[in-house]
Amino acid sequence: MKINGSKILIECLKKEGIKHIYGYPGGVVLNIFDHLYDEKSMELTLTRHEQAAVHAADGYARASGKVGVAIVTSGPGATNTVTGIATAYMDSIPLVVFSGQVPTMLIGNDAFQEADIVGITRPCTKHNYLVKDVKDLAKTIREAFHIASTGRPGPVLIDLPKDVTTGMAEFVWPKHVNIRSYNPTYHGNRWMIKQSIQMISKAKKPVIMAGGGVILSGASKELKELAEKAKIPVTMTMMGLGGFPGTHKLSMGMLGMHGTYYANRAIQGSDLIIGIGVRFDDRVTGRTESFAPDAKVIHIDIDPTSIRKNVDVDLPVVGDVRNVLTDLLAEMKKHKEQWGAVRSSWLKQIDRWKKERPLEYRFDKKIIKPEFVVEKIYEVTKGKAIICTEVGQNQMWAAQYYKYDKPRTWLSSGGLGTMGYGFPAAIGAQMACPDETVFDIAGDGSIQMNIQELATAVINKLPVKIAILNNRFLGMVRQWQELFFNERYAHTDLDVTPDFVKLAEAYGAVGLRATTPDEVVPVLKESLKVKDKPVMMDFVVDWKSKVYPMVPAGAAIDEMIFDEEKKKPEKKLRTVK
């Protein structure tokens, strides 16, 4: 029996086990949406912008570990997805995005709402397709999900001309995917793994640097076992937060531009760095020629193109992180070394660094400090919430002052740094994990990028908590202007900001506000009582607050600057353990 392309698409999604889709309709995809209207096995969530649809699918994927799906129309509908696709691409998030396209005979004729989305997204997708024959549709979709979810994950785009979705063909679901040019390496070279153990056994000052690959491969358990058995301290990239318990005694928190003092000092003083599922990006390494000057580097990653891309590597191990760590642990059992004995002085040194400069901020009884808000979110949620963020100061404070003990509880745009990501991602995360508390920690600038998604959250009765650290500025840019541009605040003063409480209420959400430190916890607790709609909390914070420590651009990661008023005795410092 022949069915049309729209029905084939839906049948393919069923085969892939898809339950949630995010999208926005338009002319050339009306037939797809018409079929979805009666489909009971999956739910399409109408967002208020196509960018938000992709971010929501991204948040769903990060929180659930499954492939996120978005469907949009042609032309501007497709081009509006580019920021979301690029965000997912930089952070290796598995997505399949379906875009409508004008009929094949009109492609290239500047037809109404035509855009070459395949050409536009080629640099920011893992792969993309333009389907020209309905007979190829099922095979293409099968391949797309396989590519998105295997190897180093990433977004795949499928462009669907209208005559393909209306054309008729038999539905044939491929049982297997065989792509000759695509064969990821899942198991590390045995010799390399044995060499890794030799290097680890000889190292006196090793550091594990864990990245997002740990989370993507589901290797958190193996990482913890390796660190504990070998007595190696662990620092995480921003994308790696939650891959290793933040409250563990071996945890040094995040490293890099706004990393902890002790993590950066440990990296610079180490004799061996074990990079696991990391990219060694510029925000982590600082000035590359000064990065870990005395350390040898073991780099474990499933993507061979990431190895030696930014830093020199002494021992590359290509393979899935979980598989490689499993083999490493098996190899370790053959050795009788007393791992802790050789590391004791190194661990004591790190403890001294932790005491020397812990994360801390200046507490004020009258003015809300943004760090204080994040600290209290951690306390009232008992560290068990899923935290999404926007980008900027809010993102860094959330990374520093909330402790992530489990993977997939930290959702943030790392590589691209996308303002407007957090709220729609929180919507996707809440749908993926309906029983979990989901927060979006936002700035008053970035929340306005996709604030229209309040309607999406209200209609779907999603109790997402939005904590706005409202400093009336584009805070991170303002911080740079203060420190490096002689306090010339060029176009960072958000002269007019909305009344977020009234705005929330206008959408049918709950709006709350805190203007003093004493009001922070009551507002947070009140938000947790709301179970059937989003809550937008306006925390009016100190506009002068800056994120510390900070590594200036072009500096080595141990050339950090700190709160210039730290040493003033009249200022009370609040230390977060």
Q: How many CB atoms are located within 10 Å of the residue 202 CB?
A: 13
What is the separation, in whole angstroms, between the first and last Cα of the chain?
Answer: 65
Q: What is the DSSP string of 369-428?
A: -HHHHHHHHHHHHTT-SEEEE-SSHHHHHHHHHS---STTSEE---SS--TT-HHHHHHH
Is 291 a known active-site residue?
no
- Classify burial at 12, counting beta carbons within 10 Å of its beta carbon; exposed 0-12, middle 13-18, buried 19 or more: buried
By the 8 A CB rule, do 276 and 315 touch? no
Active-site residue (options: 7, 16, 33, 50): 50
Residue 389 has phi, psi (to 5 degrees) of -140, 160
Is 481 a known active-site residue?
no
Residue 476 has phi, psi (to 5 degrees) of -70, -40
For residue 197, give every residue at least 6 positions away whose Cβ sits within 8 Å of its Cβ, in sequence order, or none: 328, 331, 332, 335
Can you tell me the distance from the alpha carbon of 263 to that of 354, in angstroms, rounded to the nearest whole number?
A: 9
Can you tell me the distance from the alpha carbon of 424 to that of 58, in angstroms, rounded to the nearest whole number?
A: 9
- Classify burial at 475, counting beta carbons within 10 Å of its beta carbon; exposed 0-12, middle 13-18, buried 19 or more: buried
Can you tell me the distance from the alpha carbon of 313 to that of 480, in angstroms, rounded to the nearest whole number?
A: 33
Active-site residue (options: 7, 126, 162, 354): 162
Can you tell me the distance from the alpha carbon of 353 to that of 265, in angstroms, rounded to the nearest whole number?
A: 8
Is 452 a known active-site residue?
no
Can you tell me the distance from the alpha carbon of 480 to that of 198, in angstroms, rounded to the nearest whole number?
A: 44
* Residue 233 identity (one-letter amino acid): P
Is 66 a known active-site residue?
no
Pairing verdict, β 155-161 and 127-130: parallel
Can you tell me the distance from the alpha carbon of 499 to that of 382, in angstroms, rounded to the nearest whole number?
A: 30
* Residue 404 backbone zone (phi > 0: left; psi -120 to 50: alpha; other: beta): beta
Active-site residue (options: 2, 105, 112, 485): 112
Q: How far is CA 110 from the centre of its chain?
A: 36
Residue 305 has phi, psi (to 5 degrees) of -75, -15
Strands (E), 225-320: 234-236, 251-254, 272-276, 296-301, 315-318
Cα atoms found within 13 Å of the Cα of residue 179, Cβ hemisphere only = 16
Is 51 a known active-site residue?
no
Dmax (CA) of the chain? 81
Active-site residue (options: 11, 19, 113, 436): 113
Which positions are annotated as active-site residues? 50, 112-113, 162, 476
